[in-house]
Every structure is written in structure tokens, then in C-alpha cells.
Chains A and B, each alone.
Chain A
Amino acid sequence: FILTQPHSVSESPGKTVTISCTRSSGSIANNYVQWYQQRPGSAPTVVIYEDDQRPSGVPDRFSGSVDSSSNSASLTISGLKTEDEADYYCQSFDNRNHEVVFGGGTKLTV
């Protein structure tokens, strides 16, 4: 399956933005979805794992959810800060092929 993300999103500081990740086939609920933040020149870091879990150290401004009706996952960032400007990738696992699947990434501009 493929995970499809918007190429880019833009929002003002202090606002809320939501980035979607749509699964092309099979239920989004079949496998956990993770979200990674990648700033320029740096390795990715996980901001949400197992659909909606936030690692320690990640601000609670970051939240994740899954919607079976749209077969998609979402990353929501509230109270946007300029430091949130980065590329964001969703990721899941293909049980049939035993492969990790990444979305194409979304460039967030704040």
C-alpha cells in the first residue's frame, strides 16, 4: 500500500495545522501509524508513535489520530512555533510484504 501526504502546508505562528496521511489499500486501523519530524540537515525524530502516543520530550502541542472513515491518519500541531517548521513523514508497516512504508513527506512552513 501507499501512504499519501500533502506535499506542503503553511500556517501562521500560534495557529493549528493538521497533516493528513491516507492509506491507499487495506484499513488504516490494521497497523499503527507513526509521525517523524525532520529539520534540515538533521536525522528524523519520532513525534508520534502507535497512532497517538507521544514520546517523552515531545510537547503536547503534537497529537495524532486515526480515522477509519477516511482511511487516514492525522498529525495535528497546535500553537505553532517557528521551530516546528520542518518536513513531516508518516510511517506504517505492510504486514503482507513485511515492509516498512513511509509517506512522501509534508513540508510545513510556519
Chain B
Amino acid sequence: EVRLVESGGVVVQPGGSLRLSCAASGFNFDDYTMHWVRQAPGKGLEWVSLIKWDGGSLNYADSVKGRFTISRDNSKNSLSLQMNSLRIEDTALYYCAKSGDYYDRSGSHYFDYWGQGTQVTVSS
């Protein structure tokens, strides 16, 4: 059974930093691209970042570029998101999501499994 369990979400002041983690199990972690997706309260889904299976390619949404850093540790089946210079508009539920496309072969970039999310609140 595929499981994605996020952790690390807390209340933090504007300008602060936070590190989110995602523990993955039930699949060959190093065969798949992994993503972070967020959802602000009452709003839609917003893609945040992706990291390819070998960590060799990283991409970010413009809204977080230069402030967030995605990483993975394939030896520990874990995904992380380092969040710096946090803003009020970063307040959201952050989901870890697994690509459903083995080694990105089809180029579909879809998500077949999602975690339950971890809440990040940026507030003074």
C-alpha cells in the first residue's frame, strides 16, 4: 500500500523558515518524480515544486522560486521542502504527491497518490 505522510507544518511568523518532510512507503521511491502541492484555505490547488527520481532536476513555481528548496533522500524514502522568507500568502495545506508516471516516460506528470497534507500558517 502506497503511503505518503507529511509532517513539519506549524505556525510561523512572516520572514521565518520551516522544513516540511514527507515519508514515503509502499513503492520504489527512487523510480518516481515527487511533488509538493499546496492549497490555501478555501482556494484551489497550486503546484509548488517537483524533484525528479534521481534529484537531478528541480523545478519551482514562480511564487516560491528563490525561497523554497526541494530535496529528497532516496536511501530514506523521504522528500523535503525547505521554506525560507515565509510570507502570509504561503499559508496553506501542503501536500506531498507522487507522480504516476514511471521515470516520467509518458510525460503526463500526473499525481496518483497524495498525502493528507500538513498545515503551514504564516502569521504574526
Contact = CB atoms under 8 A, between A and B. Distances in A.
Interface of A: 31-32, 34, 36, 38, 43-46, 49-50, 55, 87, 89, 91-93, 97-105
B45 interface: yes
A50 B86 CA distance: 35
Contacts, number: 66
26 contacts: A31-B107, A31-B108, A31-B109, A34-B108, A34-B110, A36-B45, A38-B45, A43-B115, A44-B45, A45-B114, A46-B100, A49-B110, A49-B112, A50-B106, A50-B110, A89-B45, A91-B45, A91-B110, A91-B111, A99-B59, A99-B61, A100-B50, A100-B109, A102-B45, A102-B46, A105-B45
Given A32-B106, A34-B110, A46-B112, A98 B44 contact: no
A104 B45 CA distance: 7
Interface in B75-101: 95, 100
B114 A44 contact: yes
Given A44-B45, A101-B47, A102-B44, A50 B108 contact: yes
